[in-house]
Structure 1
Amino acid sequence: MNKIAITLPISWVELTDRQLYYLFNLFQDNLSADQIKTYCFFLWGKIRVVCRYGEHDFVVKHNSDTFRVSRELIASAIHELDWIDSMPEYPVRISRIGRYIALPTDFQGVELEKYIYCDNLYQGYLSTQKQDLLNEMASILYNAPEIKTNAAEKLSTFYWFVSLKELLARTFPHFLQPAASVSSENLLEQGAPLGKRLQEAMNAQIRALTKGDITKEKQVLSMDTWRALAELDAQAKEYEELKRQYGK
């Protein structure tokens, strides 16, 4: 029996910009998960279908070799790409859009102000589904005020920020919650417009870091995001311990 030895990405973080563009463009089409994985399997595995062979088999070409494979074998093989069905465990994104280069994937070394601004836009997008908010996020994430993103780039921006927030929630669990634990009721609390709630949350974070000294606000906003979140996480942990000791 002839064998085809192919190499496939085993996780989101292995994908190149070209592969991310391809995948996010497939997501825009009305395709099933298995159809998407099949397209990726053939392209990334460098396999080309030559023709059908009977009712259930195909003749395929890999490098300079030609093989006959069954539909069942293909259906089994595409499960090597089942990780596509889940959100990335670590932040991923298209590293550059045109001449614009993205910020660090995990936001280490990025100013807190940019994270807060992007988070507000992200929450706004969850509430309204307005695509222009993703474009505005990209303008910050790529330091590109005039950027015009296409559908794949907008989706990349969304996936980047979702996976970033999941990473930060795991790293700073006392201050941040994983996205899965935040319900629509938490996000859109009755009687409190989203914009007002986001502004109040941002102000509370800044007050916690400045200890109420407004002269330090500019300094706080220019802090490294991870350094600021580490401080907020430590304060939240202290607050939790006080609640356990003394109750409400």
Structure 2
Amino acid sequence: MKTNKKTAVTFSDGSVNFSLPSSWADLDQEQLRYVFFCLGNYSATTAKLYILCRFTGMLIVRRTANGILCSTGSEQQPSFMLMSWQLVEILKSMDWMLQPNYYPVRLDEIDNLQAVERCLHGVEFRSYLQLENLYQGFLRTHQLKLLAKMASFLYRNRDHTSSAPDYHNFKPWLLQSVFLWYQSVKNYFSMIFPDFFSRVDTSSEDIEETDMMKVMNAEIRALTGGDICKEEQVLSSDCWRALTELNEKAREAREWKEKYGRH
């Protein structure tokens, strides 16, 4: 794995200094792939320990009563002790990997398939609605086949056609990366379109499938003004344009309510 200025162990005045990425935005594609792999295959603590070793080039020689004996593989500084409390502090600094992410990141490519724009610019509103339905379905059922279907909307052939291979062949950790990507998009949208996403909260795992259908139909009707002839135009529009308009409608409704009350 390639390294950069953010991934190193240095020594000065008898101290060991670790330089690690501090956010999702700091990760390059190779680092991101490894983070997704670890989060999808190991417990949180084990994942962070593997990532720490990979990103710094640190090797664990053996455990001791007070910590771990480590090595950098360098003849100039062959080994050093990392006390248990020090390790705890270092791993704690990596907790951002386990917390809600508001900076959408994704693997640019999986199995020669290219990802759509990381914040879903250029994705049709109809695809967004399908993604949202699949996402809520996964929250309820945890069925990986739903993530596989989401992947079919988010990863395309190089010519960006709708024809798709069997996404069920994606390894589970890759499907989890799809989930984490869309989850971060949802968090990001909640900041960009606050009125709409505060009014239509579909983050609860208890939401019923029939309610999701009502939500989607209400969104389409709000954008078409009830004119069925406009439905295809709305569904084929960029999801950002549609969400911008829905957010404005929600803002106007909120301001009306604040000014005039419910009646």
- The amino acid of 2:50's aligned partner reads Y
1:105 aligns to what? 118
Report deviation, 1:152: 1.3
Q: Which blocks of at least 5 consecutive residues in structure 2 are unaligned? A: 1-12, 158-163
Q: TM-score, normalised by structure 2?
A: 0.81
Aligned-pair Cα RMSD in Å? 2.5
Describe the shift of the 1:21–1:237 C-alpha distance in structure 2 as closer, same or farther (beyond 3 A). same
- The amino acid of 1:131's aligned partner reads L
CA contact (8 A) 1:25 1:151 kept: no
Describe the shift of the 1:247–1:57 C-alpha distance in structure 2 as closer, same or farther (beyond 3 A). closer
Deviating more after overlay: 125-134 vs 83-92? 83-92
2:227 aligns to what? 213
Question: Over residues 67-100 of structure 1, what are the superposed CA-to-partner deviations in whole Å (9 max), with x where a residue is unaligned?
Answer: 3113323333223312122122211111110110
1:45 aligns to what? 56
Say which SS state the counterpart of residue 156 (structure 1) adopts.
helix
Report deviation, 1:231: 0.6
1:161 aligns to what? 182
Question: 1 CA distance for matches of 2:73 and 2:87?
Answer: 14
CA contact (8 A) 2:131 2:153 kept: yes
Say which SS state the counterpart of residue 173 (structure 2) adopts.
helix
Say which SS state the counterpart of residue 69 (structure 2) adopts.
strand
Q: How does 1:1-248 map to 2 (within 5 A)?
A: 1-31=13-43, 33-51=44-62, 56-61=67-72, 63-64=74-75, 65-72=77-84, 73-143=86-156, 145-146=164-165, 147=167, 148-177=169-198, 182-185=203-206, 187-188=207-208, 194=209, 196-248=210-262
CA contact (8 A) 1:121 1:137 kept: yes
Structure 1 segments, 4+ long, off by >6 Å, are 178-181
Q: Which blocks of at least 5 consecutive residues in structure 1 are unaligned? A: 189-193
Identity of matched residues, %: 33
Report deviation, 1:204: 1.4
Report deviation, 1:44: 0.6
Question: 1 CA distance for matches of 2:256 and 2:230?
Answer: 27
- The amino acid of 2:228's aligned partner reads I
CA contact (8 A) 1:166 1:179 kept: no
- The amino acid of 2:177's aligned partner reads S
